[in-house]
């Protein structure tokens, strides 16, 4: 990971990176991956979220994602999402930089007013594996009907989701932001999926202040991290209030 000396950087205020995971969407009613121990129709999520499953059991994988795509219409952002929008505004008003990275594939950050980097893709997009055309579409959510590619005729677009074993998106921009951040904040992520889980450690090693908000202590938590347990809808707004004071954003 590249490291930049502060003299090379243009911003005068704090440089904040926020990494969110399923926990922030849990308070909007979106199921997390790991804390229910639950199976989806007898399958572990890890078993349907692979390119191998898409090749072998395409109907099952499609149904799984169509349910999740349909669910987006029934959920709304919560005060945790809104608090991160307010934090971004304060950081920018202070002349700082703000980067929001999310592992979530829902669109709740966008609907709250943020522009996140989606490192694991987005439910709202479909992608053709044959010609790489991407289609933004949340209309066709029938679990039993595939969506044909209207560019090359391929019979089934896939969800534009980064599955297990695939390369996450935008790693270069994320690493650049992490390598120069003054404050790194992890929200609602269990810290078990890499490379996302490694950024907290990387920021810590590079001297950033590290903040962690989650219901349960994540795997990658270190005693030096400022851990603020609780439900995201309450705890993230409280953490943002704390950051505003600590970073002198008023």
Write out the catalytic residue numbers: 120
Residues of 9-47 as b/e, b for ≥16 C-beta within 10 angstroms? eebebbbbbbbbbbbbbbbbebebbbeeeeeeeeeeeeb
Cis bond upstream, residue 195 (ω within 30): yes
Of the CA atoms within 13 Å of residue 3, those in its CB half-sphere come to 9
Burial 58-71 (b: 16+ CB within 10 A, else e): eebbbbbbbebbee
Distance CA 214, CA 187 (A): 6
Residue 23, interface with ligand APR (CB under 6 A)?
yes
- Which residue stretch of 4-12, 31-39, 67-75, 132-140 sits at the interface with ligand APR (rule: CB under 6 A)? 31-39
> CB under 6 A: which stretch of 16-24, 67-75, 128-136, 239-247 binds ligand APR?
16-24
For residues 94 and 163, which CB has a smaller minimum distance to ligand APR in the complex?
Answer: 163
Pick one of 26, 91, 149, 174: the residue that binds ligand APR (CB under 6 A).
26
Is 141 a binding residue for ligand APR by CB under 6 A? The answer is no
Nearer to ligand APR, 239 or 249 (CB): 239
Which phi and psi (to 5°) does residue 32 adopt?
-80, 180
Q: For residue 138, count other CB atoms closer than 10 A to its CB.
A: 14
Query: 36 to 55, contacts with ligand APR by CB under 6 A?
Result: 45
- Residue 32 CB, shortest distance to ligand APR, in Å, is 3
Instruction: Decide: is 232 part of the binding site for ligand APR (CB under 6 A).
Output: yes
Q: Is 237 in the site for ligand APR (CB under 6 A)?
A: no
User: Nearer Cβ to ligand APR, position 34 or 204?
Assistant: 34
Give DSSP secondary structure letters for 162-227.
--TTSPPS-HHHHHHHHHT-SEEEEES--S-STTTTHHHHHHHHTT-EEEEEESS--TT--TTSEE
Residues 198-217 that bind ligand APR (CB under 6 A): 214-216
Which position among 17, 18, 22, 212 is part of the footprint of ligand APR (CB under 6 A)?
22
By C-beta, is 123 or 193 nearer to ligand APR? 193
By C-beta, is 116 or 218 nearer to ligand APR?
218
68, 109, 118, 120: residue in contact with ligand APR (rule CB under 6 A): 120
Q: β-pairing, 15-20 with 183-187?
A: parallel
Binding to ligand APR, residues 181-200 (CB under 6 A): 188-190, 192-193
Residues forming contacts to ligand APR in the complex (CB under 6 A) are: 21-23, 26-27, 32-35, 45, 103, 120, 188-190, 192-193, 214-216, 218, 231-232
């Amino acid at each position: 990971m590249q490291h930049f000396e502060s003299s090379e950087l243009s911003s005068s205020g704090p440089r904040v990176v926020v990494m969110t995971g399923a926990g922030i969407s849990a308070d909007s009613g979106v199921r997390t991956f790991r804390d229910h121990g639950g199976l989806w129709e007898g399958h572990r999520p890890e078993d349907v979220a692979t390119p191998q499953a898409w090749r072998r059991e395409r109907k099952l994988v499609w149904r799984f994602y169509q349910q999740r795509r349909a669910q987006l219409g029934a959920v709304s952002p919560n005060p945790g999402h809104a608090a991160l929008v307010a934090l971004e505004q304060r950081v920018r008003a202070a002349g700082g930089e703000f980067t929001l990275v999310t592992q979530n594939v829902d669109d709740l950050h966008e609907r709250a007013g943020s522009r996140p980097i989606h490192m694991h893709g987005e439910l709202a997009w479909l992608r053709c594996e044959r010609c790489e055309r991407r289609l933004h579409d949340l209309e066709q959510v029938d679990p039993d009907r595939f969506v044909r590619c209207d560019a090359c005729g391929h019979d089934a677009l896939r969800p534009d989701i980064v599955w297990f074993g695939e390369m996450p998106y935008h790693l270069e921009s994320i690493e650049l932001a992490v390598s120069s951040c003054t404050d790194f904040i992890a929200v609602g992520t269990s810290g078990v999926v890499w490379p996302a889980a490694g950024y907290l450690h990387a920021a810590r090693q590079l001297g950033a202040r590290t903040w962690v908000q989650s219901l349960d202590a994540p795997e990658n938590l270190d005693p030096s991290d400022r851990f603020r347990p609780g439900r995201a809808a309450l705890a993230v707004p409280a953490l943002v209030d704390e950051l505003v004071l600590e970073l002198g954003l008023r």
